[in-house]
């Protein structure tokens, strides 16, 4: 089953997320399970999967355009850096010069090479997806197929798994509740916050006429996993505009980034993630990054789920140990 781990995993995750909708549809269609499951799968396609595929296709197209612009020299990050350096006051420029941070040629090569490699990786991944289109279609079909049956038979399967686990009824209840809660909260919270932050950042860049707004919006969405991660993109852009005399653009980005994008993260993330799973923010942060490092894109769900499981099992053992100590005493 390992070659199909991705579609199996995401079929399970989507089944957990959309199971409340399935139960509502089941009541509407008078307990016809096949019809309710099929309608839920269609709804999942419309709400989640099709928009994601459209964004991915547009992102790949923009990445190729930026890659070609960098190779042709039309997009020159080193030149932008030099313009910013020339606009600095002499005292700041001299200080940076003493620190070795004004070497135009080295930084020009570094920035251009890094940007070229980044866009080249995206273009290469897009080529791999195109070459492995058949494998992608098979995996996509397996995910939808599994999603249908997990929605329809998920309650029965969960009951069988519960009966097979050699733990007390209360312990099994806590473990299963924690699993479903963590999956829903992590996917709902992280994806919602990342999508909103990336969309707002992309709209802001498009409004200001910055090339590759969709690409930068997607990068900001990914970096939203880090504390103030999106500011790693809009912050340097705002500084560049301020230094080069385009004051209104720089101030607009700073105000919008702090008051809108920043507040979205501070308000929504605790509500959607931390409140549901009751795991400290630093644990969610570390387990998310560690999960991505170990499991790739699937890790942003697997990491927090494993961390939450560790915490709930630790609490179960701690509670059991306290009870046994009281009895022995």
Predicted confidence (pLDDT) per residue in 109-133, tens digit: 555 555 555 555 555 555 555 556 6
256 closest CA partner among 191, 187, 210: 210
Q: Where are the beta strands (DSSP E) in 167-304?
A: none
242 closest CA partner among 108, 91, 87: 87
Please state at what angle helix 104-131 crosses helix 133-164, rounded to 10 degrees: 80
Residue 245 or residue 154, greater confidence = 154
Q: What is the mean predicted confidence (pLDDT) over 88-101?
A: 61
> Count of alpha carbons within 13 Å of 18, Cβ hemisphere only?
30
Query: Residue 326: pLDDT band by 50, 70, 90 thresholds?
Result: low
Residue 103 or residue 12, greater confidence = 12
Could you give the 3-state DSSP secondary structure of residue 152?
Answer: helix
Q: What is the mean predicted confidence (pLDDT) over 25-41?
A: 90
Q: Is residue 317 part of a domain?
A: no
d(CA 158, CA 272): 25
Give the CA-trace dihedral at 304, 219, 53, 148, to 10 degrees.
Answer: 10
Report the chain's C-alpha Rg in angstroms: 24
- Number of structural domains the chain divides into: 1
Does the pLDDT at position 211 exceed 90? no
pLDDT tens for each residue of 275-323: 555 667 677 778 888 888 888 878 877 887 788 778 777 877 777 776 6
Q: Is residue 314 part of a domain?
A: no
Query: What is the pLDDT of the chain when averaged over all its residues?
Result: 76
Between the alpha carbon of residue 284 and those of residues 157, 173, 224, 312, the distances in Å are 29, 23, 13, 14
pLDDT value at position 145? 92
Q: Is residue 3 part of a domain?
A: yes
pLDDT value at position 38? 92
Query: Residue 149: pLDDT band by 50, 70, 90 thresholds?
Result: very high
Phi-psi region of 106 (alpha: psi -120 to 50; beta: other; left: phi over 0): alpha
CB 188 within 8 A of CB 272: yes
Cut 0.95: pTM above it: no
Rounded to a whole number of angstroms, the distance between the first and last alpha carbons of the chain is 49
Q: What is the mean predicted confidence (pLDDT) over 233-248?
A: 80
Does the pLDDT at position 146 exceed 90? yes
Q: Is residue 100 part of a domain?
A: yes
**Total H helices, total E strands in the chain:** 16, 0
pLDDT value at position 285? 77
Q: Is residue 127 part of a domain?
A: yes
Least-confidence region, from 6-10, 240-244, 296-300, 325-329: 325-329
Block residue for tokens 């179960």: 316
Q: What is the mean predicted confidence (pLDDT) over 214-219?
A: 80
Least-confidence region, from 181-185, 238-242, 325-329: 325-329
178 closest CA partner among 318, 299, 313, 298: 313
CB 33 within 8 A of CB 26: yes
Provide the residue range defining the domain that includes 130.
1-164
């Amino acid at each position: 089953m390992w070659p199909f781990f991705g579609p199996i995993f995401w079929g399970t995750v989507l089944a957990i997320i959309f199971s409340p909708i399935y139960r509502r549809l089941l009541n509407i269609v008078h307990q016809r399970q096949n019809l309710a499951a099929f309608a839920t799968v269609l709804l999942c396609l419309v709400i989640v999967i099709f928009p994601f595929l459209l964004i991915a296709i547009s992102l790949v197209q923009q990445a190729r355009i930026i890659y070609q612009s960098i190779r042709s020299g039309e997009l020159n990050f080193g030149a932008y850096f030099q313009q910013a350096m020339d606009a600095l006051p002499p005292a700041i420029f001299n200080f940076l010069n003493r620190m070795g941070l004004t070497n135009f040629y080295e930084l020009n090569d570094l920035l251009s090479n890094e940007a070229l490699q980044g866009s080249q990786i995206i273009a290469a991944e897009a080529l791999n997806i195109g070459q492995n289109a058949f494998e992608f279609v098979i995996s996509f079909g397996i995910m939808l197929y599994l999603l249908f049956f997990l929605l329809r038979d998920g309650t029965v399967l969960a009951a069988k798994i519960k009966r097979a686990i050699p733990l007390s009824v209360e312990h099994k209840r806590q473990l299963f509740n924690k699993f479903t809660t963590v999956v829903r909260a992590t996917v709902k919270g992280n994806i919602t916050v990342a999508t909103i932050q990336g969309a707002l950042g992309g709209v802001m860049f498009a409004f200001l006429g910055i090339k590759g707004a969709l690409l930068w919006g997607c990068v900001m969405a990914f970096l939203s996993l880090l504390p103030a991660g999106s500011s790693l993109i809009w912050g340097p852009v705002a500084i560049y505009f301020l230094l080069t005399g385009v004051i209104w653009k720089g101030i607009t980005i700073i105000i919008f980034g702090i008051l809108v994008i920043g507040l979205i993260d501070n308000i929504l993330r605790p509500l959607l993630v931390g409140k549901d799973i009751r795991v400290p923010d630093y644990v969610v942060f570390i387990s998310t990054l560690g999960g991505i490092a170990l499991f790739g894109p699937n890790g942003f769900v697997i990491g927090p789920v494993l961390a939450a499981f560790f915490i709930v099992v630790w609490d179960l053992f701690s509670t059991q140990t306290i009870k046994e100590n009281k009895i022995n005493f």
